Chains A and B, each alone.
Chain A
Amino acid sequence: MPLTARERMAIARQKMPERAPDVRNRDFHEVNLGYHQSLAALEADRCLQCKDSKCVGGCPVGIDIPGFLERVSAGDLKGAAELLLAANALPGITGRVCPQEEQCEQLCIRAKGKNGQPVAIGHLERFVADWARENLDIRQLVAPPTGYRVAVVGSGPAGLTCSGELARKGHDVTVFEALHQPGGVLTYGIPEFRLPNHIIDAEVDRLRQMGVKIVCNVVIGRTFTIDELLKEEGYDAVFVANGAGLPVFMNIPGENLKGVYSANEYLTRSNLMRAYEFPRFDTPIIRGERVAVVGGGNVAMDSVRTAKRLGAKEATLVYRRSRAEMPARVEEVHHAEDEGIVFELLCNPIRVLGSEDGWVRGLQCVRMELGEPDDSGRRRPVPIRGSEFVIDSDLVIMAIGTRANPLLTSTTPDLKLNKWGYIEVDEAGATSKPGVYAGGDIARGSATVILAMGDGKRAAASIDQYLRGRPPTSQR
């Protein structure tokens, strides 16, 4: 007998089981342990199965959320997985990293009211995805070969999603990745304790089984240009998804001292190069005792929690606005607090202080207060005069954002860019250059995994349409 709405309402949100903060902040294993089936079913029972399910509207890829939750509560995990995978090729990843509190869960009817607690859609997505990975043959059927060849630049979420969709339609897809390992930010940026690499590996393996070729160590713009891919290498179309990987520094004095990293460098050393296992792995990393991380987003959160795990006695997050404005996922902020991260809010660095031998010894900051709202609608932080103080630190990490990397776009002059250097695309994901599509962070500016995936999917549909209107290059 189905539960009544009253019975459903009576169930409290099930907490995600997680490892103890003072244990997990010393290693790189995943923090969240995942629901087991009975917990998942109980949580899924909380869904009221609304007729006009608002949550679906909050999902950038339109997952049939009530549908998959209903199947979870009925114990039909295979059915749940099929529904989920129909809309989202990487649920094991998005279940872990989507900002659900701003998307589906924000719109959940149960989030309303003072003590409202939305259904834990993200946790359930993760549960179903993990179950599917272990128990289902999620290889997708691939249509007969079409004879068209597509090059995908970059193997982040946008590139991976696009290549999967294109392969399914029978196109011959090659992904070119600059680094030695695929996955984009998922591999080099987001740490193991939040998104284990084996999940990305499984996804990449699945794509390979579908016939997608992934070629690492190829930098488009250097090894080949886009024009060469189209004119000499015989590709019929290109999808550009090279991310927004150019680190931004603050341009304050002392930023080139030893012991100042961009978050990109720090996280790449730790995640991609496995410097946290130095000297078993060759790449070194500076392990600070007192680490200050500047920023308030996911990147800052990942950096400061990495610093703690690398042995920092004190790991401090320095953010110029207040907590409410922090762009990081709420869950990460909670996890960071539990792990003993110190938050210096309304505080802005003005100078990195160095010792005589060129090492960082502190971060000079000024206190801020919130003034009038700025363009982003958030109240603008303004410095409080005379409030300068120093945070003693031997390692400073700048996590204040990234920009478009001009390496590829500068070698493709007919690719129209906007004033920030991002590639301009239309509704279909098409660029100003025929046969060239773009998506993910290089088109949007730093955004999210799910939006990058959505772009990949949309571009795949557009590319498919574009190809079918013309003969394959190989037959011309």
Chain B
Amino acid sequence: MFRILDARQLASDVKCFRIDAPLVARHRQPGQFVIIRLSETGERIPLTMANADRAAGTIELIVKAIGKTTRELCKKNAGDTISDVMGPLGNPTEIIKAAHAVLVGGGVGTAVIYPLAQTLRDGGSFVSAITGGRTRELVVLEAELRNVCDVVYACTDDGSYGFRGTVADKLRELIDPARRRRESSIAPERHANAGAACRPVEVVYCAGPVPMMKAIAELTRPAGIKTIVSLNPIMVDGTGMCGGCRVTIDGQAKFACVDGPEFDGHAVNFAELADRLTAYRVQEKLALDRMEHECDMAT
């Protein structure tokens, strides 16, 4: 049993948990994840560690409630327990020192890129983050990101907050050389984001829905900007034993849980990944309906 020490609501359906898991905390590096199982009848799901405190023996998870397991988890609070927490799993993020590193996160992906910011910055990179959602309520972790990034761009599709457009639209702007030339002529004092605008983007880290990652990778490909994406295939064991998490990278099958979860965005077969993620759509809906039905019965 693993105890939840602290649970904090970050947005209407996003929660941050601090969990007592000393063995996992001890070796955790940015980019690694855990696999958790809530109860004896639960499913095993992967979640990225947003943080870990070695001395305190704790890890932090940021969870977006989307299906049965994540919703059940998001109902939990300090003092509650989780049956199993296994990890750390996956390879740590490849930290590249860059004049300008841009983190792009959409939805839960923001939870995946957030822990990278501090590490990249500690490594001497200038770090911008682009986070987005359809509308204002769906932009998560913006305040947290501001604490660890040099610049943060919030984007909404409907323009209800921040930049109007997708995260890809924002990135297009940032990597546009013409714009850089233009903005670098403005004196830094007069332009809050001049720091970001003057520096050529050297690396992009991206996590989020598959179509978003694909769009980002397509943007950076012609510009030749190294792009690391964090893939989210369905997993079971997390040790390379089942092969369920296989993804195609440069035409080769890789197991995301042990070979990833981060890969070169320009080599990923995104269409296949997107399709494989829909394999259990019927069962996921059934599980969710059943859970909601049970909740209705209880009230």
Contact = CB atoms under 8 A, between A and B. Distances in A.
B239 A219 contact: yes
A388 to B, nearest CB: 24
Interface stretch (A40-48, A241-249, A313-321): A241-249
A180 interface: yes
A282 B68 contact: yes
Given A258-B279, A282-B287, A268 B239 contact: no
B283 A261 contact: no
Interface residues of A, number: 39
Interface in A298-327: none
Interface stretch (A64-72, A118-126, A160-168, A272-280): A272-280
Contacts of B279: 258-259, 286
A223 B284 CA distance: 31
A265 B243 contact: yes
B239 A405 contact: yes
Nearest to B287: A279
A48 B42 CA distance: 52
A180 B84 contact: yes
A281 B236 contact: no
Contacts of B272: 256
Contact of B83 (A180, A245, A278): A180
A182 B222 CA distance: 50
B242 interface: yes
Contact of A268 (B41, B86, B241): B241
Contact of B43 (A247, A259, A283): A283
B276 A222 contact: no
Given A249-B253, A405-B241, A282 B88 contact: no
A258 B277 CA distance: 9
Contacts of B37: 180
A218 interface: yes
A431 B278 CA distance: 44
A407 interface: yes
Interface-centre pick from B87, B237, B241 (highest chain A CB count, 10 A): B241
B239 A278 contact: no
B244 interface: yes
Interface-centre pick from B24, B244, B284, B290 (highest chain A CB count, 10 A): B244
B244 A265 contact: yes
Contacts of B239: 178-179, 219, 245, 405, 407
Interface SS of chain B = mixed
B240 A405 contact: yes
Given A282-B69, A282-B287, A264 B84 contact: no
Contacts of A213: none
Contacts, number: 115
B236 A265 contact: yes
A212 B258 CA distance: 29
B166 to A, nearest CB: 25
Contact of B240 (A216, A249, A269, A407): A407
A421 to B, nearest CB: 12
A178 B37 CA distance: 13
B23 interface: yes
Contacts of B280: 284, 286
A300 to B, nearest CB: 16
Nearest to B37: A180
Contacts of B248: 256
B237 A178 contact: yes
Given A282-B43, A407-B258, A246 B241 contact: yes
B243 A178 contact: no
A246 B240 contact: yes
Contacts of B258: 407
Contacts of A280: 41
B236 A273 contact: yes
A273 B244 CA distance: 14
Contacts of A25: none
Contacts of A265: 236, 242-244
A358 interface: yes
Interface string A211-247: 0000011110011100000000000000000000111
A262 interface: yes
Nearest to B269: A256
Contacts of B85: 217
Interface in B84-99: 84-89
Interface string A383-410: 0000000000000000000000111000
18 contacts: A222-B27, A222-B87, A247-B242, A247-B243, A249-B243, A251-B253, A256-B253, A258-B275, A265-B242, A268-B242, A269-B236, A273-B43, A282-B287, A284-B43, A284-B283, A358-B275, A358-B278, A407-B258
Given A219-B89, A247-B241, 7 more contacts: A180-B86, A258-B279, A273-B43, A284-B43, A284-B284, A286-B279, A407-B258
Q: State the 3 A-B residue pairs at the shortest beta-carbon distance, nearest first.
A: A284-B283, A265-B242, A282-B43
Interface of B: 23-24, 26-27, 37, 41-44, 68-69, 83-89, 236-244, 246, 248, 253, 258, 272, 275-276, 278-280, 283-284, 286-287, 290
